[in-house]
Amino acid sequence: MSRRALGALAAAGLVAALAACATDDPATPAASSSAAAYPVTVGSVTLPAQPVKIVSLSPTTTEMLFAIGAGGQVVAADDNSNFPANAPKTELSGFQPNAEAVAAKSPDLVVLSTDANNVVAQLTTLKIPVYVAPAAVTLEDTYKQLAELGELTGHKAEATALTQQMKDDIAKLVKDLPKRATPLSYYYELDPTLYSVTSKTFIGSLFELAGLKNVADAADTKGSGYPQLTAESLVKSNPDLIFLADTKCCKQDLAAVQARAGWAGMTAVSKGQVIALDDDIASRWGPRVVDLVRAIVDAANKVPA
């Protein structure tokens, strides 16, 4: 499996006023806009007071923290946290975290998505609270993580409002889709070696919301959720839509897939129904998931019913 596909697998398993907060670069928010009683306990994490120095080691949690108004409390973010633009991106790695380097930031809360290098135990030994927000499997997981981060950071009201706005936006998007006698089929590309996702994954569930049929499901003989398709089987499946989640990493676009052997005759390619997604939005499960649903719905709406 390619590094790109492995990364997506690790990440996935791989938005109105508040929506704008999630999709635009927000200004650094106030430290807290809702009264919170401390100590606060979420799972195994107890904070004696509102955290004022948060280190985020995941691009998704960085986006979540800023979206709920806790961005001003984030003093350091990992080297892949590129959104929002004012996130304090540093040299810290989320894939290979170094406990000593994290501790050097003197955080009173560390938020991460994977316990690589046994970093959770190391930070706990140093008496640094750690909240783990693993890759979401469902949208409910995303909403739960937003709520828990709201509790921990003193932004419960903002987190509640954001999740409701996300739910409302997604419901409106899928409600407006045209009714079809036969659902549109799609192929979602993680990388040019044809790794994809099935309907059982977080990404796949978003396409199911939009009523699309995944051509990769049949290829998942191992039940991983991330099968690698053969070029022959993919051409034969002839999807109506192709979504490329490898535009930044691998420079894939309509012209690139047109040049692949046998692809020019596929319905999605011949009709120009190849959608170039933002790799980052497509691999994160935070507030910008609404943007991904919007891209899916917009693409489906352009195909005559």
Residues 25 and 300: beta-carbon distance below 8 Å: no
Q: What local confidence, expressed as pLDDT, does residue 226 receive?
A: 96
pLDDT tens profile 42-51: 999 999 999 9
Q: Determine the angle formed by the axes of helices 139-153 and 156-175, rounding to 10 degrees.
A: 160
pLDDT tens profile 70-80: 999 999 999 99
pLDDT tens profile 225-262: 999 999 999 999 999 999 999 999 999 999 999 999 99
**Residue 12, token pair as written in the block:** 């996935």
Residues 82 and 284: beta-carbon distance below 8 Å: no
Residues 11 and 284: beta-carbon distance below 8 Å: yes
In the beta sheet, which residues pair with residue 54?
A: 74, 109
Neighbours of 118 (CB within 10 A): 10
Show the beta-strand stretches assigned E in the chain: 40-42, 45-47, 54-56, 74-77, 109-112, 130-132, 185-189, 213-214, 241-244, 274-276
Residues 79 and 92: beta-carbon distance below 8 Å: yes
For 195, list phi and psi in degrees, rounded to 5: -75, 140
Please state, in angstroms and as integers, the Cα–Cα distance from residue 289 to each residue in 103, 237, 246, following that order.
31, 27, 17
Q: What local confidence, expressed as pLDDT, does residue 24 receive?
A: 37
pLDDT tens profile 96-150: 999 999 999 999 999 999 999 999 999 999 999 999 999 999 999 999 999 999 9
| In the predicted structure, residue 56 carries a pLDDT above the cut 90 | yes
Please state, in angstroms and as integers, the Cα–Cα distance from residue 82 to each residue in 28, 60, 66, 281, 295, following that order.
15, 10, 12, 11, 20
Residue 305 confidence class, pLDDT cut points 50, 70, 90:
confident
The helix (run of H) or strand (run of E) holding residue 268 is: helix 267-270
| In the predicted structure, residue 34 carries a pLDDT above the cut 80 | no
| In the predicted structure, residue 25 carries a pLDDT above the cut 90 | no
pLDDT tens profile 189-199: 999 999 999 99
Q: What local confidence, expressed as pLDDT, does residue 176 receive?
A: 84
| In the predicted structure, residue 28 carries a pLDDT above the cut 50 | no
Total-model pTM: 0.88
Q: Alpha carbon 62 to chain centroid distance?
A: 11
| In the predicted structure, residue 215 carries a pLDDT above the cut 70 | yes
Q: Which residues contact 20 (CB under 8 A, 6 or more apart)?
A: none
**Locus of tokens 């996300």:** 166
For 196-221, letters b (16+ CB in 10 Å) and e give bbbbbbbbbebbebbbbbbbbeebbe
Q: Which residues contact 297 (CB under 8 A, 6 or more apart)?
A: 173, 174, 176, 177, 210
For 227-260, letters b (16+ CB in 10 Å) and e give bbbeeeebbebebbbbbbbbbebbebebebbeeb
Compute the C-alpha angle 261/266/267, nearest 5°.
160
Compute the C-alpha angle 102/114/4, nearest 5°.
110
Q: Alpha carbon 191 to chain centroid distance?
A: 16
Residue 20 confidence class, pLDDT cut points 50, 70, 90:
very low
